[in-house]
Structure 1
Amino acid sequence: MALGRRLSLRGLCVLLLGTVVGGQVLELRLKDGAHRCEGRVEVKHQGEWGTVDDGSWSWKDASVACRQLGCGVAVGIPQEAYFGPGVGPIWLSYTSCEGVESTVSDCRHSNIKDYRNDSYIHDWDAGVVCSGFVHLARGDGPCSGRVEVYSGEAWIPVSDGNFTLPTAQVICAELGCGKAVSVQGQVPFRESNARYWAEEFRCEGEEPELRVCPRVPCPGGTCHHSGAVQVVCSVYTDVRLVTNSSSQCEGQVEMNISGRWRALCASHWGLANANVVCRQLGCGVAISTPNGAEGSDQLWKARFHCSGTESFLWKCPVTVLGVPDCSHGNTASVICSGNQTQVLPQCDHFVSEPAGSAASEESAPYCSDSRQLRLVDGGSPCAGRVEILDQGSWGTICDDGWDLDDARVVCRQLGCGEALNATGSAHFGAGSGPIWLDDLNCTGNESQVWTCPSPGWGQHDCRHKEDAGVICSEFLALRMVSEDQQCAGWLEVFYNGTWGSVCRSPMDDVTVSIICSQLGCGDSGSVNTSVGLREGSRPRWVDLIQCRKTDTSLWQCPSGPWKYSSCSPKEEAYISCAGSRPKSCPTAAPCTDREKLQLRGGDSECSGRVEVWHSGSWGTVCDDSWSLAEAEVVCQQLGCGQALEAVPAATFGPGNGSIWLDGVRCGGRESSLWDCAAEPWGQSDCKHEEDAGVRCSGVRTTLPTTTAGTRTTSNSLPGIFSLPGVLCLILGALLFLVIIILVTQLLRWRAERRALSSYEDALAEAVYEELDYRLTQKEGLGSPDQRTDVPAENYDDAEEVPVPGTPPAFQGSEEEVPPEKDDGVRSSQTGSCLNFSREAADPGEGEESLWLLQGKKGDTGYDDAELSALGTSPVTFS
């Protein structure tokens, strides 16, 4: 008894001790991440920080950890000590959360002790990436978009009421996104029942994160606002000019990149970029861009592709991928006009020059060349329609005489390498505004395209359907190659006119995420290192890609220079994105071109938004250069007759998914949209508000089978006032008249049939009465007094005319005689209304004969006149 009492006391003590230890709230932190809300998971026990083994670490565990830290929701659980191995004890070997707990201490977990003594090592330390208290949503990446904060249950947008730049700087720094370069208010709430954060943030700009900034509740819980607020962060922030002279408006161009001042390389530096810098610094316009100034050995090699009209340098498109290191001393410089009030003379570069001469920017260093050059609608700064800015208007170049020599000048002037193709006939879509140049005759050596010989500035006989374009060697495109997978495969980049592989070292999660997002395959993925060697040979263009969170495309990511063999064949990158799935046709394999095309959102089967099937998913077509010729090919391909209208601007509603085609150029006679010229698949600078549509004249000649096995049909006219619509109305009216005539004839026939039946009854009745009379006379049946009509004494029964179709003898019976089947034989007497062929009026219906072979009792009297009125031969009395 005493032993049992002692055991019970010991068990109670153990239970109480476990309750005390288990009831304490473990202090939690994340270490070695980019910010407070990501990193290696560490817990504090007995005053010492230790780690958690990731053997059982799950999304539910990570969610609780993020909640406990006030860091929003879990967005990643990288394992295998992704944030580096910890030091000290490993306090927890496992946790088992339901995902709704407030702290990790509330979850079931292992006893707290140092598990290193049990053969656990820090190579398996758990990590987590939390969304944080604030994020930027619906932008081009994690470093731009609408400001939203996490309430503990949902993400709620912040209004633009009293939102300041210091608050934006705190947000960008907290997200590891550099500095805020833009704050925009009055962004419309897209949700119909939009809520917004009922507090105003009053940050000073030095706070480590938004949640510690002072807040002011909005009066009555309602903040004064005109919409949501949007912030753009960038690693490119401030710009300055460094010089030994006293002028603040000339010198070497330096930029603050991720908090460090770096000189810019001059390999792709021109007046367009320089004009943006001068305007940004309030220094007027660029006069010249002298090169070769001595500067830092660590030059930033990013290439800015400014049009010259941007307000800040970081708003210009930028490419870093594959750019070679800059040579020592080749720094970008600029001389700005400063605060001069006088108007500088314009550079006289538009006059035709003799062949072989070449003008340079230094030939007139003190004139202001306001002309700028750009390529538009090509999906890249180095491909597209050629446009020139002059006198405040962007205009185009006519394709008369346009060739590779002209294109070489454009590519060289833009720093886009060599010319691969000189396109005409508005290959990249028709422009607008003036047509500045025509009949260019460049030698290929000119430094500016407007210095080439031509009839004169603004002199042309063209229309915009003849706009010229170019494709330069620096034009870049991206794709995945796989026989059976969508959003998974060998990564390839188009460079220098050829597709080549990409090397996988040292691709991290950020780089893979940007690649997958750029290809429309989700926002995460992984590099597959277990695939075998790839067959065939190809260039291996680029290696050492290291993207940053602020990059919105692969082209902005730093890397090694372009080389034909940047790595060995076994290092070619094979990417599997979160959106990967097996390739399949929209219908049964193999897919035909017709099955890869559909119209959605229209008012009939032959009108709607054009959607194409590519790489395992439906996508849309951009309306750039979309015309009746392209619509004609679509309508013919679908068997929908002729094209009535090429519908632009998402008239049938914006689509979703990828925009597969852009710059489609058809002649109008192609059998398939796939036979038309277009940009590479998936390369588009459009939004779904530019989705193309068509309206065709008819319905499909062959209707596709639906999933239920039935055929779809059209239920409306494409256009009631169009020519086909008018024809349909006319045909419909004629059909209505024909139906009325047929119904009238049917009613007339039925009336005649009823009349005929009555006359047949009367005729048969008369015959039966005559037979009855003869039988009565012969056999003495009945009395003469009972007869109402007595024929003449010389009545000759041999002259009776039998009714056609009646039996020859009745034997005096009054039973009904079964009707005989109609054998098609009718009375041949002239003028007889009984000479009526039912087959002609009602063919194919096996009805009984019109002759009614039933005897009826009734009035036996009739005369020849009555029979004559029937059109039958009268009964003769002798």
Structure 2
Amino acid sequence: MKRPSVRPSVRPSVRPSVRPSVRPSVRPSVRPSVRPSSVRPSVRPSRPSSSVRPSVRPSVVRPSVRPSVRPSVRPSVRPSVRRPCPSVRRRPSVPDGQIRLLDGGYYYGRVEIYHDRRWGTVCDDSWGLQDANVVCRQLGFPSAVAAHTDAYYGQGTGPILLDDVQCEGYETRLEYCPSGGWYTHNCDHQEDAGVECSNDFYMTTPFPWGIDGDVRLMGGLRSNEGRVEIYYYGTWYTVCDDSWDNADATVVCRQLGYFDPAQAVGGAYFGFGFGDILLDDVECYGWESTLLDCPNAGLFQHNCWNSQEAGVICGNEEYGRVRLVGGSVPTEGRVEIFNNNEWGTICDDLWQREDAEVICRQLGYSDVDEYFLDQAYFGEGYGPIMERLSCDGDEAHWQQCSYSGWNTPYCEHYEDVGVRCLAGVEGDVRLRNGYSRGSSYEGRVELFYDGGWYTVCDDGWDTADATVVCRQLGFKGSAEALDSAYFGAGSDPIILDDVNCGGWESTLLECPSSGLFVHNCQHTEDAGVRCSSDEDGDARLIGGLSQYEGRVEVLYDGKWNTICDDSWDTRDASVICRQLGYEGTDAVFGNAYFGPGRGDILMDEVKCTGDESTLLDCPSDGFYIHNCDHSEDSGVRCLHNGKD
């Protein structure tokens, strides 16, 4: 985004008059002095290059004093960079410059930055997409979708730490961007800046669950290999490959539950990560409990690029295997995962379709038939229990998802979850990455063929094509055709281009096209659809962590609208929950608890008796008559099988 060289000469009267009306048209060529003192060397040591990856990374020479065999007696003096008690997992202090998003969701919200031992907000003067891109990349997302101003996600309460942020877009942290300086501003919290990040790929920061020092492997073809990422204060970071060797890899693999041998690889062998690099010059002995216990150059102290990220290949591929137990056919059963030399189960807390999709995909099935078979539907299992598995749905295996841990005190085996997977029929279609998490009525179109799912190019994509897709999925109403990767870009090959349906075909494969896998497209042209039943009064829940909670939205006059929370109570919520097929209401929410909606507010002062068929049947002030904004959107949590 090109920034204007001249700022508006007239600002609101509440601003100090001493503020210059014209911004310099040329950015300073020198970065602000507040950037950390760890400056990269002007000349980097040359690295060997080769067009062929070595099967084993050349060994790195270690100091001769490093023992090749674990010493029988540990050194009496530990390096000063090590934590005082490696047997205790302590929460490190917040790093200066850390970013968080508040009053939104895990990928959108008000921007807050940590400085001088306190959290503060950022003023929206000059705030644009380049600034938002830096924030999102720092949090582990690939890019930003939108930069928001005017306290779009509500007003903060702490100090305003930055103003006039002017990122170029290449910075890895917001604090590195030119700005007016810490605490220098002429703003109030009505101008707090916000962002919305792209979330259409595996999340490097999916949810704030985890323990500082946890590691995971990303980018590998199998679950026992990948780029090393380490969790630190709410964000996943990568590790530089300087001094990276098999002793360091051994610690990572053992931390993940694998046995020896462990192989270290570098040079971003498993692809580049996103965000900052946490560790450099890691010097493990091999007996440490976690990678954070190993001597290193210090947190965020490095002279590396993302092309130097470290990876590992662990030895025991048995870890992480998935199986279905207790079903009448191979495609169904209780989900069990092999962990630490024994089979364990998954608790049904927060279990949803995206989690089941990953399990079925890892087992080689094409899709999910039924995913919420909870309360030990296929019988109670044995062994450890995993809690709160949370996947985005695009992961290749469950290790790329987040989860809160094993053997927590909140789950028992009567909560073991099960799934029923689909083997797939050639020509099946599915919708992916809809804006409503787990939504089945909108998304990127994918078609099953020869054992795989493939996307469709949007050349010639129109309503007739969308109608065939929606009818194939069981929708009887209208269909909207969406192009230009509206629901995010896919990753698998493109199977169809120049689709030209008449609208009467039974499946998308029956429509004329340029031929299978014949196209001139990229995934930025992936086609999508939005299906509708075209029935006023239909309801849906948006923004929740499960399919039975979220912001209430009601279909009226062909569009989805929110409901104001004035007078919102359990009788109103019970109408929504019953309409959606749930047994009752667990909780009601106001103040945009599940995030603010968009579009119109349909109803205010809703006063249901609880017996109505739809919310439209309830008394209210009238359609589109209200004194609300989206900070007052209502929400519900429904009861599912008698429990929330």
TM-score, with normalisation over the residues of structure 1? Answer: 0.24
Larger-Rg structure: 1
Pick the structure with more helix per residue.
1
Q: Specify which structure has the bigger relative contact order, considering alpha-carbon pairs within 8 angstroms and separated by 6 or more residues.
A: 2
